[in-house]
Structure 1
């Protein structure tokens, strides 16, 4: 089941404009949504459980994820028509979405998203290793 529904677009674009940029094809819209989701997952994967984020439905979905995913999808749809003539508002909103995702990935912003579960004590099984720094106590060889 797709993460976005038709009503998610109503806030940012009129339905007749959406029909024009998708060329009245639902598969074009679906491909843009999948590309937007993959782009978002690439930023969120390190800290958040992306499978859980994008499996939510209805009112359980995060409003910011919906907003930025629509922005990214609409940008890609406009770029599909003519990469040189993407409306300025789409470019601005796409860049804002990328900036938000970068800030989330860095940890500057902490949205209400499900954290990635720990995979064992000390990061076992997650590819993480514990590295300890330091040295042994200093010993004197003089008597």
Structure 2
């Protein structure tokens, strides 16, 4: 089942414009949605459970994920039709979506998303080892 619904697009693009962009081929839209999902997963995978995020249905879906996935999808659909004539607003929104994803990946933003389950039954396997020593003191009087 696809993550996005047709009503998700209504906030950002008129239906008749979307139909022109996809050339009335639903498989083109579906492929752009899969590409957008893959792009988002690549940023979110380190910290969040992407399977849970993108398998959520109806009210369980995160509104920001929907918003940014629609932005990325529409950008890819415009690039498919005429790459050199992408509306500036779509480029700005696509870059904003990527910036948000990068900030989430760096840990600067913490959206309300399901955390990635720990592997190995509670053992994280990610141990932090710090190297260094105490500052050198002189004992001369």
**TM-score past 0.5 threshold:** yes
1:40 and 2:34 are equivalent in the alignment: no
Deviation per residue, 1:22-58 (Å, 9 max, x gap): 0000000000000000000000000000000000000
Give the aligned CA root-mean-square deviation in angstroms.
1.4
What residue in structure 2 maps to residue 64 of structure 1? 64
Displacement, 1:130? 3.1
- Distance in 2 (alpha carbons) for counterparts of 1:134 and 1:91: 44
What residue in structure 2 maps to residue 94 of structure 1? 94
Deviation per residue, 1:102-135 (Å, 9 max, x gap): 0000000000000001113432xxxx45364569
Unaligned runs of 5+ in 1: 136-143
Distance 1:133 1:93, change over 3 A: closer
- Distance in 2 (alpha carbons) for counterparts of 1:83 and 1:115: 36
Which runs of structure 2 are paired with 1:82-121 in the superposition (5 Å)? 82-119=82-119, 120-121=121-122
Unaligned runs of 5+ in 2: 133-141
What residue in structure 2 maps to residue 130 of structure 1? 127
Q: Taking CA–CA contacts closer than 8 Å with sequence separation of 6 or more, which of the two structures ends up with the larger relative contact order?
A: 2
TM-score normalised to structure 1 length: 0.87
TM-score normalised to structure 2 length: 0.89
Say which SS state the counterpart of residue 112 (structure 2) adopts: coil
Q: Aligned pair count?
A: 131
